[in-house]
Each structure stands twice: as C-alpha cells, then as structure tokens.
C-alpha cells in the first residue's frame, strides 16, 4: 500500500511530503504518517529546516470529513503533532498550492513560515459542516490575521486568494513556480540567512480597529441563526484567543469542536457534503462514456422560467438563442433578463462589462430554424401536455442530429414528451427551479430511452452551471414535486380544519423551512399551483378524494392568484403578507361543503408532523420505486430546491433522527384520528420494514 506521507532529505532541507489523493485530506493514516515523518526530521540533526509539501492538485484540503462520524474520533494526535511542529527549534515551512483548507490551513499555521504559489486559496470552511477549526485554527488565525478577519473567515467559510492571504499576513510570500521548488528555495534561504522559527501561538491577537462591544455584537448576530450553533461557538473561541493564554484557548476550542462534531446539525451538514458529491454519480453508467459537446443552447419560451434558464447559461459563458411565439413576448423576455442583470449591476454584483458580455450571449428569434445549430435545446413553455408535446415534435424535426432535447416540465410524463420528438434517446428532463438563475437544484429526469451519453453530458453541464444535479426517474412530479404534493395536501387540510396560514407558515419556518407552504404558494402563484392540480385531475392522477386540494383550486377560481394579485392565502400590502379574514370564510365554506370538522386545537407540533411525515413517506416510496437512487439524493433535492433546512440534513436524514418507528406510529395515529380512506396515512413498505428492523434511511441500499 502506498504510504500517504514520506520523508526525504534534499540537501539541508527535510522534505515532508503528503500524497493522499484526491485532496490530501487528513485521514488517520495521513496523521500517523505525518507523525512518523516528523520524528524522522527531529532525529536528523544535520538538517537545517523542514518543508511541508503536498503532491497532487492541492495542499491538504482539511480533515477527512468521513472520519468525523467515528465515535472515538479525536483531533488530539494531530493537534499534538502541530504543537511539536511549531515548537521545532529549526524553521518549518509550508509550501501551499491549490486549496489549503480547514485542518490543512491549520497545519500551515502551525508551521513557522508559509509560502504560496499564485492561484492558491486558503480558508477555514468548517462552519459549512457545522464545525469550527478544531486544530487550533481558532487560536492561531486571529493571532496572524487579526480578530476581525479571522472571525469573518471562520463564520463565513469564505476563501482568500493568495494575494489577500499575503495582505492578511496568513502567508509570508507569494512566488511564481511550482510549490515544491518555491518551498525548497524559501527554506534554503531561511537556513542560509540563519532565520529561526516564528511561532503564531506566541503572538497577540490584534483587536486593532474594532469597535467597543465587538464580541457582544458578534454574539448577538450569531444568535440570530440558532440553526447554526457553530457561529456562536466560533465567537467564544476567538474571544478565548484574545483573552486567554494559548493553552487555555486550546481547551476552549477542543470542547466546542467536540460538542459540535457530535451535534445533529453537523452530522446533517456532513451528510449533505457527501450527498451532493454522490448525486453526481450515476449507478451503472460507465465512467468513460463519451460526452456530447454543449457549446450553444436554445431555449423555447422566454417567460420567467425560460429567461432564468437562459441567464444560467449566459452566466456560464454559453451563448443562448431564445425562441418565442410573438415579437412582443420575446421583447418582454429579453427585457426581463436585462432588468435582472441591471439589478445585479446596481448591487455591485456584476460589472458593467460583464452585463454587456452576458447580454451579448443572448439572442432572440421567432423562428425554430434558429435552433438548428444548437447543441442543446430546452423547452420551457407552459405546463400543458398538448402544448409541450407540439413543441417537442417541432424540436425533434428542427434540431441537428446529436443535439440534446430537454424538457423543463415539472410534473409531466417525460417519456411521452420524448416520444413526441421522434428521437427519445436524445431527450432528457431538465427541471430548473424558479428563479432558475439563482436556485442551485437541477432535477435531471432520466427517460426510459435517454441515451447514457446524454445523461452524462447534462450531469457534467450542471457543474458548469454551478448547479447541484440530482437524477430522478419518470413519475408524476419527479422527486421534488411529488413529495411537495403530500406536503401541500396536508397544509390545505390543516387550513380547512381550522389552522391559519400564518400558524402553518410559522411552524414550518420554526423548523427551518426558508418559507412556509402558504407563503410559498402565494409567491409561486396560485394559478401555477392550481393548474398543476387541474392538469393532474385531467390525466386521472388525483386521489378519488373530492376534498383533495380544493382550496388552491377555489382560490384560483376567485382570482386570488397570490402575491401578484394582492391576495391568495394572505392579502398583501406590497409584498408583505397579512392575515386575511376572507381566507377563513373560504376555508369554512369548503370545510362545510366537504364535511370536514373545524377544530381550534391544532398546535404547532401537529402541523409539523402532518407536513413532514407524509413528505418523508413519499420520499420512501420514491426510493422503493427506484425513482431516486439514494436517500441522499432525496435530501439534496429538498435542501437545494425547496428551502428545506440544511442543518437538518434533508427530510430523510431528519426522519432518521426522529426515528422511523416513531414516524410509523404517528402516521398510524393520524390515520385513526383523521381517517385514512385515501391512504394518506398508509406508510410505505420501505418505511414499515426499516422501522420494524430498527434501521435508518442512511444505511439503506437498493437491492
């Protein structure tokens, strides 16, 4: 077996070399190797300095995230090694390239000097995993970079480029060349000039330029986000770096890190870190499948969705041709895109020249012939089967051989649309989420006949668009909207039974949802929500329950289209939702029509359970039917596309924490209490089986 760390002599320099692909993460073997290599350096008195260098694409990108789940994980051996490195009587240099992150940057900070090549980035992104730097980063970084910057880096997880790191005092020099040569030359110069060690732990963390009450304010800000306890813990550690001797600060950090490591928040975020990367991997698809080129894109439909999709591509530097049915619609669509870009420019997020570049990548046409040269064409017309099938048929005829044809449908049968093109192997579903240029999720719908290279090409393309792509099989609503249907169904029943929209929304938001279901529907448009239900009814896909989602349909009939019409579940003062007594009247009338008893005892606990358990149950069905490959895919869809709180790790991860047995029991209770004539409270076979066996989604694998 290749050892991840080696030690060699280069003249007067000891070279400690890490080689643990892909990102030189600090596995147990790497830490052991580091300790042995440092022992070898210490044993050789002939050497004048030590250089720490990494092979491959990057300096150490952090602790091995997969190792944090082990109940006996301990950062102590690594931290002791870092203390020994720092205590070395001979200078120790880190040569940085790639991304020196987390435990990797902490290794560099324990070294006496840091040299970086241009293009290097440094950061402490532990907060994104619900953690804090646990190898003395919270103590050394404020001493080197000052309190304000260190706190900001740790709380945001943002990276600094080499120049910024130099200005901040995190690296000592930035030099052209390869990291090994640059590092060796630097170490040589230290030996030649007889420069001794310089230890960060002996420095004083600078409070220069900080307003009085800096830490109080930092703490108040951190407490505004109670879902992320690492934010507060980081403040406590930085405070310790300022107020306490290094050894005591170390103690504070160790306790805080351990507490966070074991927290559900961090476990959820770690789960998502791997789920996001797993989602890109398609079981059974050969790694070396030849990809199709996507250098130009066409979009049919320049509405909100089509425009947002076009912007996603233009943002990635890919030219887009927008096709509309009328001059007016096309002009409106392009004007909307320009407006979005101008708004970004006004906020300073886009430079004027970038705005011009992006607009120059967009062209419009009324003629499908303009799409003939495109490598990928996405239809983004209204969610209407007949219309979409017609557009797909036209695309099948006009697109060049080898072009990919995609549908942005959010609910319709991708196999039927693929058949309409006459070339189903070229067809895939690309379900963007509104606003398409902002939302990270891209649901990739794999049709029965989608060619493997088409699937592989769009998965790769998603990376260029900076989206998280998750593959779904074909079913009503795919992964996300199918689960949303169960969630929205219960939200409506709760309203009919007597809950108020603001109560439902605040319970969902207290759980961490970015927006409760009523506000979400009002924002998306009641017409959009109602039409989906109406279309599904036409296709015979609704449960035989006459009260099924009657509320959204009634609001639509009444012209209460949500925020855009000034009333929906709420009434609106501008964009501000206000309680609306009229909504209660509508709910009372519908409840009476459908024989639904009104109650005054609906509490937040019931709301959360009734929204979440059917959602989880639908997720389980999606897994057992093979619509999603893995539980993590379901979680990613809800976190990246539906505002599900990442600190809960996604709905299925959350279900594991609640306990599947509890969920099955509660569903049975609701089935008795609310009736189960339409199977709403029937748990899926998978859920029942896992619960009976005391198992979790996280360990479930398809057969």
Catalytic residues: 106, 126
Helix, coil or strand: residue 351: coil
Give, as ranges, the residues between 359 and 378 that touch ligand 3H9 (CB under 6 A): none
- DSSP character at residue 98: S
Q: Residue 78, interface with ligand 3H9 (CB under 6 A)? A: yes
Q: Residue 26, interface with ligand 3H9 (CB under 6 A)? A: yes
290 within 8 A of 453, measured Cβ to Cβ: yes
Beta bridge partners of 323: 300, 365
Choose between 256 and 606: whose C-beta lies nearer to ligand 3H9. 256
Q: How far is the CB of 122 from ligand 3H9 (least distance, A)?
A: 11
Distance (Å, whole) CA 214 – CA 144: 19
Q: How far is the CB of 133 from ligand 3H9 (least distance, A)?
A: 4
Beta bridge partners of 50: 14, 92
Side by side, the strands of the sheet bearing 13-18 are 5-10, 13-18, 49-54, 92-96, 113-116, 173-174
Q: Give the number of other Cβ atoms within 10 Å of residue 3's Cβ.
A: 14
594 within 8 A of 550, measured Cβ to Cβ: yes
Give the number of C-alpha atoms closer than 13 A to the C-alpha of residue 65, restricted to the C-beta side. 24
Give, as ranges, the residues between 93 and 132 that touch ligand 3H9 (CB under 6 A): 99, 101-103, 106, 125-126, 129, 131
Distance (Å, whole) CA 18 – CA 229: 33
Give which of 26, 319, 77, 52 is closest to 179, Cα–Cα.
52
Q: Residue 63, interface with ligand 3H9 (CB under 6 A)? A: yes
Helix, coil or strand: residue 101: strand
Q: How far is the CB of 628 from ligand 3H9 (least distance, A)?
A: 18
Choose between 117 and 451: whose C-beta lies nearer to ligand 3H9. 117
Among 20, 120, 135, 563, binds ligand 3H9 (CB under 6 A): 135
Choose between 252 and 602: whose C-beta lies nearer to ligand 3H9. 252
Peptide bond into 22 cis (omega under 30): yes
Choose between 133 and 577: whose C-beta lies nearer to ligand 3H9. 133
Choose between 253 and 375: whose C-beta lies nearer to ligand 3H9. 253
Q: What are phi and psi of 99, to 5 degrees?
A: -120, 110
Distance (Å, whole) CA 212 – CA 219: 13
Q: Residue 277, interface with ligand 3H9 (CB under 6 A)? A: yes
Give which of 505, 584, 503, 596 is closest to 548, Cα–Cα.
596
124 within 8 A of 157, measured Cβ to Cβ: yes
Among 133, 498, 632, 641, binds ligand 3H9 (CB under 6 A): 133
Pairing of strands 427-432, 441-445: antiparallel
Q: Give the number of other Cβ atoms within 10 Å of residue 535's Cβ.
A: 15
Q: How far is the CB of 25 from ligand 3H9 (least distance, A)?
A: 4
Helix, coil or strand: residue 556: helix
Size of the site for ligand 3H9 (CB under 6 A): 26
Choose between 66 and 248: whose C-beta lies nearer to ligand 3H9. 66
Q: How far is the CB of 62 from ligand 3H9 (least distance, A)?
A: 2
Q: Residue 66, interface with ligand 3H9 (CB under 6 A)? A: yes
Choose between 99 and 617: whose C-beta lies nearer to ligand 3H9. 99
601 within 8 A of 503, measured Cβ to Cβ: no
Window contacting ligand 3H9 (CB under 6 A); options: 134-142, 167-175, 426-434, 435-443: 134-142
Q: How far is the CB of 134 from ligand 3H9 (least distance, A)?
A: 4
Q: How far is the CB of 463 from ligand 3H9 (least distance, A)?
A: 8
Choose between 420 and 639: whose C-beta lies nearer to ligand 3H9. 639
Among 75, 150, 190, 636, binds ligand 3H9 (CB under 6 A): 75
Among 13, 15, 64, 182, binds ligand 3H9 (CB under 6 A): 64
**What are the C-alpha distances in Å from 551 to residues 208, 453, 476, 489, 496?**
59, 43, 21, 10, 8
Q: What tokens does 668 get? A: 């049975």
Window contacting ligand 3H9 (CB under 6 A); options: 63-71, 368-376, 518-526, 537-545: 63-71
Q: How far is the CB of 69 from ligand 3H9 (least distance, A)?
A: 11
Choose between 124 and 392: whose C-beta lies nearer to ligand 3H9. 124
Helix, coil or strand: residue 318: coil
Window contacting ligand 3H9 (CB under 6 A); options: 17-25, 469-477, 499-507, 684-692: 17-25
Q: How far is the CB of 645 from ligand 3H9 (least distance, A)?
A: 19
Binding site for ligand 3H9 (CB under 6 A): 22-23, 25-26, 61-66, 75, 78, 99, 101-103, 106, 125-126, 129, 131, 133-135, 137, 277
């Amino acid at each position: 077996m290749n050892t991840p760390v080696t030690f060699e002599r280069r003249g007067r320099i000891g070279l400690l070399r890490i080689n643990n692909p892909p990102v030189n993460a600090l596995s147990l073997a790497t830490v052991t190797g580091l300790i042995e290599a440092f022992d070898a350096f210490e044993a050789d008195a002939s050497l004048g300095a030590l250089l720490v260098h990494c092979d491959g694409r990057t300096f150490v990108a952090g602790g091995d995230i997969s190792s944090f789940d082990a109940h006996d994980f301990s950062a102590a051996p690594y931290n002791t090694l870092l203390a020994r490195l720092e205590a070395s009587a001979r200078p120790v240099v880190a040569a940085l390239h790639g991304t020196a992150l987390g435990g990797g940057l902490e290794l560099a900070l324990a070294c006496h000097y840091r040299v970086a090549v241009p293009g290097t980035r440094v950061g402490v992104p532990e907060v994104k995993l619900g953690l804090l730097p646990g190898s003395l980063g919270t103590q050394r970084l404020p001493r080197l970079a000052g309190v304000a910057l260190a706190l900001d880096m740790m709380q945001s997880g943002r990276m600094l480029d080499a120049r910024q790191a130099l200005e901040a005092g995190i690296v000592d020099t930035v030099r052209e060349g390869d990291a090994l040569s640059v590092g060796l030359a630097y170490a040589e110069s230290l030996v030649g000039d007889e420069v001794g060690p310089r230890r960060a732990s002996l420095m004083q963390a600078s409070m220069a330029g900080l307003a009085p009450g800096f830490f109080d304010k930092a703490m108040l800000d951190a407490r505004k986000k109670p879902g992320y306890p690492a934010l507060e813990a980081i403040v406590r550690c930085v405070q310790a770096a300022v107020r306490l001797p290094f050894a005591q600060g170390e103690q504070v950090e160790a306790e805080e890190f351990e507490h966070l490591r074991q927290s559900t928040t961090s476990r959820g975020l770690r789960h998502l870190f791997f789920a996001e990367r797993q989602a890109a991997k398609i079981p059974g698809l050969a790694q070396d499948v030849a990809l199709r080129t996507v250098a130009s894109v066409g979009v049919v439909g320049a509405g909100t969705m089509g425009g947002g999709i076009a912007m996603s591509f233009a943002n990635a530097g890919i030219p887009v041709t927008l096709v509309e049915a009328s001059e007016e619609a096309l002009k409106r669509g392009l004007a909307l895109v320009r407006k979005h870009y101008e708004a970004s420019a006004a906020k300073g997020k886009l430079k004027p020249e970038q705005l011009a570049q992006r607009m120059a990548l967009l062209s419009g046409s009324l003629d499908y012939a303009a799409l003939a040269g495109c490598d990928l064409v996405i239809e983004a017309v209204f969610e209407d089967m007949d219309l979409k099938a017609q557009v797909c048929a036209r695309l099948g005829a006009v697109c060049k051989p080898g072009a990919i044809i995609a549908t942005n449908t959010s609910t319709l049968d991708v196999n039927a649309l693929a058949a309409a093109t006459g070339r189903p192997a070229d067809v895939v579903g690309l379900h963007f989420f509104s606003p398409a240029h902002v939302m990270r999720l891209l649901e990739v719908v794999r049709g029965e006949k989608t060619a493997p290279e088409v699937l592989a090409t769009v998965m790769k393309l998603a990376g260029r668009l900076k989206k998280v792509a998750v593959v779904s099989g074909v079913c009503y609503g795919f992964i996300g909207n199918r689960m949303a249907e169960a969630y929205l169904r219960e939200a409506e029943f709760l309203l009919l039974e007597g809950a108020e929209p603001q109560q439902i929304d605040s319970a969902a938001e207290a759980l961490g949802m970015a927006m409760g279901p009523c506000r979400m529907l009002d924002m998306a448009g009641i017409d959009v929500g109602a039409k989906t239900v109406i279309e599904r009814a036409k296709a015979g896909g609704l449960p035989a329950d006459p009260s099924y989602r009657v509320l959204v349909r009634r609001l639509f009939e009444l012209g209460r289209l949500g925020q855009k019409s000034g009333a929906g579940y709420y009434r609106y003062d501008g964009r501000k939702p206000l309680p609306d007594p009229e909504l209660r009247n509508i709910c009372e009338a519908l409840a009476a029509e459908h024989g639904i008893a009104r109650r005054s005892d609906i509490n937040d606990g019931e709301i959360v359970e009734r929204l979440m358990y059917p959602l989880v149950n639908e997720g389980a069905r999606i897994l057992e039917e093979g619509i999603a490959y893995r539980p993590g895919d379901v979680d990613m869809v809800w976190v990246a596309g539906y505002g599900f709180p990442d600190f809960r790790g996604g709905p299925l991860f959350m279900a594991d924490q609640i306990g599947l047995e509890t969920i099955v029991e509660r569903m049975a209770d609701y089935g008795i209490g609310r009736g189960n004539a339409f199977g709403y409270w029937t748990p899926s076979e998978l859920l029942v089986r896992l619960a009976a066996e005391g198992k979790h989604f996280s360990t479930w694998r398809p057969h």
